Amino acid sequence: MKNNNKGKILDVSRRLFLKYGYNGISIRTIASRAKLTTGAVYFHFKNKRDIYTTICLEAIEMLLSKFAGGMDRRRSNSQKLISTFDSYLEFFYRHGDYYNILMEYKAEFDQDGDSGREAIAAKMAELLRLMSQAVAAGIEAGEFRPVDPMMLSLFLASVAEGMLQYKKLGLMAAMKIEDADFRAFMIDVISYGITAQPQSSAKRNE
């Protein structure tokens, strides 16, 4: 029963955070909506920040699982990297509540320094390490030029997350850019970069 209560608290809290924001609810509100006492909530969580951090960590764990599964199903390292974009999209569409809480938690959540920010950042870094393994393997196989695997992973993750934020704002729809169009563009950039191929010396001397 106690474990069931923990799940109920998280489910209720997730809905309340999305509707009212982090500062818009209290432990008392969470307990009331979950039909529990405040003591039952404090049995499982230290405070409201602890609940929020737990939800964020659950979200990242879900995304990490999607990353790992998607990459395992691809053969080439470039396909593995693109699969992470697919995983972001699936997470965005199928788990919007988790996505919104994870990507949009407010600055005031970290005011007293006990927000779980370090735990959230450490878990997010696992996503980048997974991507960087594909980059490193691609470099070793001669598929990619030698770049910093973690820096490239951070860049690609930032592009994907930024695109989803623009998507939420309606910019992608306004520009008539479909998910498949953006995905194809990312494949092109990952495969060929943006620098023009240098001409041969013979061509330059013509």
Q: How far apart are CA 3 and CA 134, in angstroms?
A: 37
Domains, the chain, ordered by start:
1-45 (1.10.10.60), 48-194 (1.10.357.10)
Which pLDDT score, from 0 to 100, does residue 107 have? 46
Which residue, among 140, 127, 142, has the nearest Cα to 81 in the 3D structure?
A: 127
Quick one: pLDDT at residue 147?
Answer: 94
pLDDT tier, 4 (very low <50, low <70, confident <90, very high otherwise): confident
> What is the rounded distance in angstroms from the CA atom of residue 59 to the CA atom of residue 99?
7
**What was the pLDDT predicted at 21?**
84
State the pLDDT at residue 111: 55
pLDDT of residue 199: 58
Segment 15-31 mean pLDDT: 91
The tens digit of pLDDT for each residue in 155-197 reads: 999 999 999 999 999 999 999 999 999 999 999 988 888 888 6
Residue among 153, 127, 125 at smallest CA distance from 139: 153
Kindly state the average pLDDT of the residues 69-91.
95
Confidence (pLDDT) at 62? 95
- Of residues 130 and 198, which shows the higher confidence score? 130
Measured CA to CA, the distance from residue 150 to residue 156 in angstroms comes to 10
Burial letters 53-66, b for 16+ CB under 10 A, else e = bbbbbbbbebbbeb
Q: What is the pLDDT of residues 91-148, one digit of tens each?
A: 999 999 999 888 766 445 555 556 688 888 899 999 999 999 999 999 999 999 999 9
**pLDDT tens by residue, 27-57:** 999 999 999 999 999 999 999 989 999 999 9
Cβ(25)–Cβ(17) below 8 Å: yes
Please tell me the distance from the alpha carbon of residue 71 to that of residue 82, in angstroms, as a whole number.
Answer: 9
pLDDT at 171: 96
Binned at pLDDT 50, 70 and 90, residue 202 comes out as: very low
